[in-house]
Amino acid sequence: SYVLTQPPSVSVAPGQTARITCGGNNIGSKSVHWYQQKPGQAPVLVVYDDSDRPSGIPERFSGSNSGNTATLTISRVEAGDEADYYCQVWDSSSDQVVFGGGTKLTVL
Amino acid sequence: QLQLQESGPGLVKPSETLSLTCTVSGGSISSSSYYWGWIRQPPGKGLEWIGSIYYSGSTYYNPSLKSRVTISVDTSKNQFSLKLSSVTAADTAVYYCARLWVVTAINALFDYWGQGTLVTVSS
């Protein structure tokens, strides 16, 4: 089955740019979606279809996808961005939803 | 605004069947382009997709759980349900229901989530 690989943790200082990667075989041919999950809360969609933002999500959140890596970029990081982030695709070869293992973003 | 709410027992004994229901409000479960799904998250761990169902009853399941999972839909009540049989402590998790937007045949994402409900498997 299809596997998505994320780094367990990423740390960044306030005001800097955080980049969270999601690796998968030829992931550039798939549409990647990103969710933010804060402690005790349900996940929230922050980027869909590689780089689109749902209504209400700040422009600081952006995404890209090419080759074997998709990336969620958070610009001008704020303390409130500290959360777990998950990437997700639909694997049409097996008709499954696939999640990455998640990345804990720490704002220093 | 679409809302989803999970309900069911918070404690299930080992070897028994876990049963949860998700009630959808603010929209119809019979809408085209949308499946309805269950996702779980063991304490301190990541998200695991369990399965999804269309209002017609068509289902997709995670192969790792397929032998123990049944997802059903009741359009008259705007609800869908999860049954997970022969549970063990490893099935202890927060269970979420969510709407799966099927954008195309090769693209789907969860755009609305319930708040989640903790189910503990213990005697």
Q: What is the pLDDT of residues B65-118, one digit of tens each?
A: 999 999 999 999 999 999 999 999 999 999 999 999 999 888 999 999 999 999
Chain A interface mutation, best of B6, B71, B110, B115, highest count of A Cβ atoms under 10 Å: B110
**Torsions phi, psi of B19, nearest 5?**
-130, 125
Any idea what the Cα angle at residue A45 is, between residues A48 and A8, rounded to 5°? Answer: 95
Is the pLDDT at A56 greater than 90, yes or no?
yes
User: Which residue spans within A24-101 are E strands per DSSP?
Assistant: 33-37, 44-47, 61-66, 69-74, 83-91, 96-99
Taking residues A75-98, what's their average pLDDT?
96
Q: What is the pLDDT of residues B25-68, one digit of tens each?
A: 999 999 999 999 999 999 999 999 999 999 999 999 999 999 99
d(CA A74, CA A71): 10
Q: What is the pLDDT of residue B21?
A: 98
Q: Are B38 and B96 in contact (CB under 8 A)?
A: yes
Token pair belonging to A57: 């999500």
A80 SS3 class: helix
Taking residues A36-48, what's their average pLDDT?
97
Q: What is the pLDDT of residue B105?
A: 87
- For chains A and B, CB pairs below 8 A equal 68
Taking residues A80-94, what's their average pLDDT?
96
Mean pLDDT for chain A?
A: 97
Chain A hits for B108, Cβ within 8 Å: 90, 97
Considering only the beta carbons, identify the residue of B106, B109, B116 that sits closest to A48. B109
Q: What is the pLDDT of residue A71?
A: 98
Is the pLDDT at B3 greater than 90, yes or no?
yes
Hunting for tokens 């397929």 — which residue is that?
A: B66
Taking residues A48-74, what's their average pLDDT?
97
- Dihedral-angle region of residue B15 (phi above 0 means left; psi in -120 to 50 means alpha; beta otherwise): left
d(CA A9, CA B73): 38
CB within 8 Å: A90 and B108: yes
Q: What is the pLDDT of residue B112?
A: 97
Q: Are B69 and B115 in contact (CB under 8 A)?
A: no
For A31-58, b/e burial (b = at least 16 CB within 10 A) is: bbbbbbbeeeebbbbbbbebbebeeebe
B91 SS3 class: helix
Q: What is the pLDDT of residues A1-41, one digit of tens each?
A: 899 999 999 999 999 999 999 999 999 999 999 999 999 99
CB within 8 Å of chain B, chain A residues 39-98: 41-45, 48-49, 54, 86, 88, 90, 92, 94-98
Q: What is the pLDDT of residue A6?
A: 98
Taking residues B4-22, what's their average pLDDT?
98
CB within 8 Å: A96 and B111: no
